[in-house]
Amino acid sequence: MQPWFDQQTAGMVGGMLGAGVGVFFGGVLGGVGGPLAAKGKCRSLVMGGFVLAIVTGLGLIATGVVALAMGQPWHVWYSFLLPGFITTVVMGSLFPVMRMAYRRAEQRRLDAASIRGTGAQGAS
C-alpha cells in the first residue's frame, strides 16, 4: 500500500486540519455563538454551525478509520483521527449547552412579556 503522504506532509495536514477546525468552529463559532445564544438571536445559524462542526469531526474520524483499515502508516490516519476526535468531542459536548442557552433566552423573553402584560403573542 502506497502511503497517501509522507510524515512531513502529515504534520502539515494534521496541523492545518486542527488549526482550521479549531479556529473556525472553536474560535469563530464559539466566540460569536455564545453571546448570540445568550440573547436568543440567530438560533438556526449557530445551532447549524454546531451540527456542521460535529459532522465535520465525524467525517475526519471516518477518513482516519478508512486510512487505518487500508493499512496506511500511523502518521496518515492519526492526522485525521486526532482533529476529528477533538472536534467531535468538544463541539458535541457544547451542543446541549448552547441549546440550553437558547431555551433560557426564550424563557426570559416569555417572562418579560408576561410581566409587561402583553402575553407571549404580543412580544416579537
List pLDDT tens digits, range 59-76. Answer: 999 999 999 999 999 999
Q: The pTM is what?
A: 0.83
pLDDT tens-place string over residues 20-44: 998 988 889 988 998 999 999 999 9
pLDDT surpassing 80 at residue 2: yes
> On the CB side of 96, how many CA atoms lie within 13 Å of its CA?
2
pLDDT tens-place string over residues 97-108: 999 999 999 999
Contact yes or no for 38/101 (Cβ under 8 A): yes
- What grid cell was written down for 56? 465535520
Three-state secondary-structure class, residue 103:
helix
